[in-house]
């Protein structure tokens, strides 16, 4: 197995450009309450962004970009079916996000070549300064938006529902760890930054097609060094 040579930390401020909804999976209904609540810390009741939501969205977008997307996450079979540049991109995705252990039990050489998952995502808490400012101004950390469906024939709004969102302007502390192994290709870190760019182009959470979940990363720091200017030049798609 390759040697672990270091762990890179990527930090940034994740700012909401539009309201964000990541559902809490409500198990109860309350009369007069919100139909769809956002996920919150159980002790502080402050909204946060689960690391799994960012990881899942980044992986999905990178898989779509590779052209090898399938119903489930990319795996060893997807790697075997691909060739050339596409196969190299599939391998990068598998190195970054990992493969189920059961898939590799019969191919020890490929498992050793991939190594462990390189990325470890953190839950994103609200920026302490932003949250304190909101509380000092006696404002709410979330908003409630009314959604409905328009009957195309009658023009009447139907099936009203109240959806909770974290409002535009909210700021979260983004962080992820990136393991570096001996022999890793030089472009792995750039693939992570490209994944972050793809999220900026797309959205996080639910109802992205309705305008929810538009975000941007600012103040990017890699291993304690400001790298926002580098991130600003990253191209999410290869030059045509």
CA 103 to chain centre: 24
Output the pLDDT for position 18.
96
Does residue 239 surpass a pLDDT of 80? no
Task: Give percent of the chain with pLDDT exceeding 70.
Answer: 91
Q: Is 147 a member of any domain?
A: yes
Alpha helix locations (H) across the chain?
Answer: 51-66, 76-81, 84-97, 101-104, 108-114, 128-136, 188-201, 228-232
Residues across the chain: 240
Report long-range pairs for 26-32 (Cβ below 8 Å, ≥24 apart): none
Q: Is 59 a member of any domain?
A: yes
Whole-angstrom Cα distance, residue 26 to residue 41?
14
Output the pLDDT for position 30.
43
Q: Is 237 a member of any domain?
A: no
Q: Is 71 a member of any domain?
A: yes
pLDDT band at 101 (very low <50, low <70, confident <90, very high): low
Output the pLDDT for position 25.
61
Compute, in degrees rounded to 10, the torsion defined by CA atoms 170, 173, 176, 177: 170
Does residue 156 surpass a pLDDT of 80? no
- 103-117: b or e for each residue (b if 16 or more CB lie within 10 Å)? ebeeeeebbeebbee
Q: Whose CA is closest to 192, among 206, 177, 205?
A: 177
| Per-residue pLDDT tens digits for 11-29 | 999 999 999 998 866 544 4
Output the pLDDT for position 154.
79
Does residue 32 surpass a pLDDT of 50? no
Output the pLDDT for position 104.
65
For helices 84-97 and 188-201, angle between their N-to-C axes, nearest 10 degrees: 90
Tokens of 41: 């810390």
User: What range does the domain containing 129 cover?
Assistant: 4-232
Domain tally, the chain: 1
Mean pLDDT of the chain: 88
Task: Give percent of the chain with pLDDT exceeding 90.
Answer: 60
Output the pLDDT for position 26.
53
Does residue 155 surpass a pLDDT of 80? no
How is 96-120 classified by DSSP, letter by letter?
HH---HHHHTT-HHHHHHH-S--EE
Output the pLDDT for position 147.
73
How large is the average pLDDT for residues 178-185?
Answer: 92
Q: Is 106 a member of any domain?
A: yes
Output the pLDDT for position 102.
66
pLDDT band at 105 (very low <50, low <70, confident <90, very high): low
Q: Is 47 a member of any domain?
A: yes
Q: Whose CA is closest to 22, among 8, 39, 36, 7?
A: 39
Does residue 203 surpass a pLDDT of 60? yes
**Pick from 30-39, 47-56, 125-134, 199-208: least confident:** 30-39
Q: Is 240 a member of any domain?
A: no
Whole-angstrom Cα distance, residue 94 to residue 88?
10
Integer-rounded Cα Rg, in Å, for the chain is 20
How large is the average pLDDT for residues 157-180?
Answer: 89
């Amino acid at each position: 197995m390759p040697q672990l040579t270091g762990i890179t930390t990527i930090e940034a401020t994740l700012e909401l450009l539009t309201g964000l909804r990541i559902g809490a999976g409500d198990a109860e209904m309350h009369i007069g309450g919100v139909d769809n609540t956002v996920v919150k810390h159980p002790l502080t009741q402050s909204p946060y962004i689960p690391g799994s939501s960012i990881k899942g969205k980044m992986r999905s977008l990178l898989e779509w970009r590779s052209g090898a997307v399938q119903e489930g996450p990319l795996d060893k079979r997807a790697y075997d079916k691909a060739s050339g540049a596409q196969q190299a991109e599939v391998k990068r995705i598998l190195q970054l996000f990992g493969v189920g252990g059961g898939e590799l039990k019969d191919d020890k050489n490929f498992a050793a070549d991939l190594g462990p998952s390189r990325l470890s995502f953190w839950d994103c808490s609200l920026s302490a300064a932003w949250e304190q400012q909101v509380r000092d101004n006696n404002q709410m950390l979330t908003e409630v938006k009314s959604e409905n469906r328009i009957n195309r024939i009658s023009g009447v709004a139907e099936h009203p529902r109240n959806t909770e969102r974290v409002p535009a302007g909210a700021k979260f502390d983004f962080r992820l760890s990136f393991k570096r192994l001996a022999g890793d290709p030089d472009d792995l870190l750039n693939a992570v930054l490209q994944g972050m760019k793809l999220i900026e182009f797309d959205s996080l959470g639910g109802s992205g097609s309705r305008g929810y979940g538009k975000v941007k990363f600012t103040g990017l720091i890699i291993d304690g060094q400001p790298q926002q200017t580098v991130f600003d030049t990253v191209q999410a798609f290869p030059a045509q």
